[in-house]
Structure 1
Amino acid sequence: MAFTDEPDLQTDVPHAARIWNYWMGGKDNFAADRAAGDAVEQVYPEIVLMAKQSRRFLIRAVHHLAAEAGIRQFLDIGTGLPTMQNTHQVAQAAAPESRVVYVDNDPLVLVHARALMADSTQDGRTVHVHADYHDPEKILVAAGEVLDFDKPVAVMFMGVLGYEPDLGVVASIVDHVMAAAPPGSHLVLWDGTNTTPAVVEGAERLAQNGGVPYILRSPEEIGGLFDGLELLDPGLVQIPAWRPQGRTEWLDAYGAVARKL
């Protein structure tokens, strides 16, 4: 898959993937991203913990699917910038033959995609698709060059669906992708919730400082995205409480892993 050599990074405009990279302690961000991130953290300091806990949730979920559920194909939509233990690293550590397709529309992610594709096991495969989740059919066509949709796939939306304001559109995106996945596939999904006044104010600060608005939803609304699927224990929970390893903290973020029957 070809990439442009010098994508337009727009370093003076805050971008969601780079803001999250900043909160997670990464170095792939610019002054505008840090300013927007700091504005949120001033009123909602838990955002840094949320960013780190979201990655720990990913690690636990992917490890379970690869090591225990026998999943060998992963479609990570809205992957963001690489940080600690990315999807392909976790999956291929448990099952070296795992195939991973990352999807993102951020030009900076394209730069890192080269390294991600090189950092793969000999038996597995890691590729990146430059696409927006609003075009799920494009994603499926491109992913189908690497993944076999006659076999189970883990579909992942990790904290990204809040950037679409219409819940109906969100549900249609998830449904479209899951409809293409066969029985035995899994949906891994989390998003921020409107469960405290502080997190709501944090989302307002993000928009006020040039970040793409992020729509916080209720846990019930997020739970509705799993309709028709079988939730794995412990069901829809705050992400630190999904099969935790150690103590858990309260966070305004809910997620789950569910199986398609």
Structure 2
Amino acid sequence: MLNIQRSIPIPRISLEKLINYILTVGDNPGINCSALKDRGLEIGKGRGDITRFFQRIGVVEVYGDCNIRLTDVGNALYMALNRDVALSKMLFHLILYKELPHYRLLINLISEEGPLSITELHRLINQRIRELSPTAWLNEVAFKAIIGLAVDLGVVEVVNGEVSIRYTASISECIRRAMVLIGSQKVLRLDDLNACIKQLLGNIDIKQLLIGSLDGCVEPIIAPGPLGPKSTYFKVLNEDCVVKQVVNVILNRSMLGGGH
């Protein structure tokens, strides 16, 4: 079950400023909040909206007298930004997909329903959110902030008022499509997931790493599949847990240089 909150902390600023923030903190570990504001890389009161946003999604940590440094996840993103902008956008998308339930619902909804008008998309996502939490919703400001960030990342595009998926969303599509509903039970097809990710990211093979990290998220079963009668399938116990573990493994491999 996704933990749907009533509001989400996505600042309405450009992707360029978000990237410059990460690069600056990566180049200057422990930089103070006030120094970021002086450089025009922070907005809002206190520690700032951008810092709060990155802290919420696990990219930075704040310590001492508002000093900021990158987390392991932040360092993976920082290293990707320094060597491959396309990869860094894909990783940023995965971090958002992992950490922000509203963002994940939005991306999955566009993938499942095909091109949608902005108005219809907003209506449908709030319908999905209400099914999960009757008192929660996504207001127009937050909705537009998510769409804007997804467009900047190349995850979706808006053409003639309709929103559709683009290539940067491919890895999250691997995750979504690998979890299929069989009867009333969701099943993770790990071989399919691994093959899809290897096709996108070359030499990243996450199958064995995932088998060791999905305890509590899935239960192993054996079912016939495209790779033979003994292909390993997993009964999904907690979909949110599966998504987070898959993304964590990809981020860890990327940080170790296992990607492009």
- The answer, yes or no, to whether TM exceeds 0.5 is no
Structure having the higher Rg:
2
Q: What TM-score, normalized to structure 1?
A: 0.31
Counting helix residues as a fraction of each chain, which structure ranks higher? 2
